[in-house]
């Protein structure tokens, strides 16, 4: 759905790029996608982001439609946490990738959601995502305007996220905050590392319980970097158990990390929405293992 904004007096004389960033709060990625799809128009005509806005002009943003035609359908039952006309939230199991990839196209969450809506015109817009072996809540927007709003909320770190995970050993101190920038590891496509030149990353945590099998932590990522929790725990000297990238791999086993809760503003009503999903590796009704 296109978005139209009439330029008011306070924004007259502003460079369009600055208005998109500061006035509308769009991310660099959102602006880039709009530019490449010729989705930025003033009074119906295409303009560059260097355009200087004038009072009374009508700015139209035309978000590109994401094609879901190349997502193979798969008949996997969905564990639905929440659903309304704008949002679908599901509890993704460990071992299921969110999107199709070169080595894994047939069994994905995207395919399961598309199968769930196979009798409707539906575009898969996941506004949150998890690693293949991280279980928990994934939020899917049902329309483009809601996708834009939710993506901005995640990018601006205004979504409250709660995870639980089991580490190889206790963390010291048992409660605290890991503040360490994260960057892609040189020579690797997927692996990240703590590096001074990286992007800011902060993870708060608290110990729930320590047993012989490991230590259960509750984790609150305050930023949203790739592999953030896994990288930070390894940096702190207590990687997740069985983490094949950042800890000690054990054949046939996978790390235990779960997105247990998300709290954010509903894109249509503005009301705070609190979603929860129990971790499959914890005992029913208890935060122990």
d(CA 193, CA 22): 30
**Which band of pLDDT confidence, cut at 50, 70 and 90, is reported for residue 31?**
confident
Tens-place pLDDT, residues 41-55 = 999 888 889 899 999
pLDDT at 32: 79
Mean pLDDT, to the nearest integer, of 123-128?
Answer: 89
Mean pLDDT of all residues in 124-146: 91
Q: Please write the tens of the pLDDT for every residue from 59-100.
A: 998 876 555 657 899 999 999 999 999 999 999 999 999 988
- Mean pLDDT lowest among 172-181, 219-228, 266-275, 277-286: 277-286
Average pLDDT value for residue range 138-166: 90
Q: With 60 as the cut, is the pLDDT of residue 18 above it? A: yes
Residues 6+ positions from 25 with CB-CB distance below 8 Å: 152, 156
- The arithmetic mean of pLDDT across residues 115-141, rounded, is 92
DSSP assignments along the chain, one per residue = --EEEE--GGGTT-BHHHIIIIIS---HHHHHHHHHTT-EEETTEE--TTPBP-TT-EEEE-PPPPP-TTS--------EEEE-SSEEEEEEPTT-BSS-BTTB-SSBHHHHHHHHTTTS----EESS---TTEEEEEEEESSHHHHHHHHHHHHTT-SEEEEEEEESS--SSSEEEEE--EEEPTT-SS-EEE-TTSB--EEEEEEEEEETTEEEEEEEESS--TTHHHHHHHHTT-PBTT-TTTS---TT----EEEEEEEEE-TTT--EEEEE---TTS-TTSS--
What is the Cα–Cα distance from 52 to 247, expressed in whole angstroms?
Answer: 52
Number of other CB atoms surrounding residue 110 within 10 Å: 23
Cβ-contact 243, 234 below 8 angstroms: yes
The residue from 131, 172, 243, 288 that is catalytic is 131
Please confirm, yes or no, whether 131 is among the known catalytic residues: yes
What is the model's pTM? 0.77
């Amino acid at each position: 759905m296109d978005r139209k904004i009439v330029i008011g007096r306070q924004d007259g004389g502003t460079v369009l790029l600055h208005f998109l960033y500061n006035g509308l709060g769009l991310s660099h990625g959102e602006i880039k996608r709009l530019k490449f799809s010729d989705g930025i128009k003033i009074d119906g005509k295409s303009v560059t982001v260097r355009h200087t806005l004038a009072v009374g002009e009508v700015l139209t943003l035309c978000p590109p439609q994401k094609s879901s035609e190349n997502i193979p359908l798969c008949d996997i039952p969905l564990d639905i946490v929440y659903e309304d006309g704008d949002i679908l939230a599901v509890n993704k199991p460990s071992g299921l990738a969110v999107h199709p990839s070169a080595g894994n196209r047939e069994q994905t969450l995207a395919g399961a959601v598309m199968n769930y809506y196979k009798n409707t015109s539906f575009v898969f817009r996941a506004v949150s995502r998890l690693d293949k072996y991280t279980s928990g809540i994934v939020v899917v927007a049902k329309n483009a305007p809601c996708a834009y709003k939710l993506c901005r909320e995640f990018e601006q770190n205004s979504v409250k996220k709660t995870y639980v995970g089991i580490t190889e050993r206790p963390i010291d101190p048992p409660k605290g905050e890991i503040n360490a920038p994260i960057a892609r590891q040189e020579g690797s496509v997927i692996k990240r590392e703590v590096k001074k030149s990286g992007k800011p990353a902060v993870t708060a945590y608290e110990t729930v319980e320590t047993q012989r099998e490991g230590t259960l932590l509750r984790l609150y990522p305050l930023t949203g970097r790739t592999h953030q929790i896994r990288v930070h725990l390894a940096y702190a000297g207590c990687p997740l158990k069985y983490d094949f990238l950042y800890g000690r791999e054990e054949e046939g086993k996978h790390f235990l990390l779960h997105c247990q809760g998300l709290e954010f503003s509903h894109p249509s009503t503005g009301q705070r929405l609190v979603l929860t999903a129990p971790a499959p590796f914890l005992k029913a009704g208890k935060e122990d293992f």
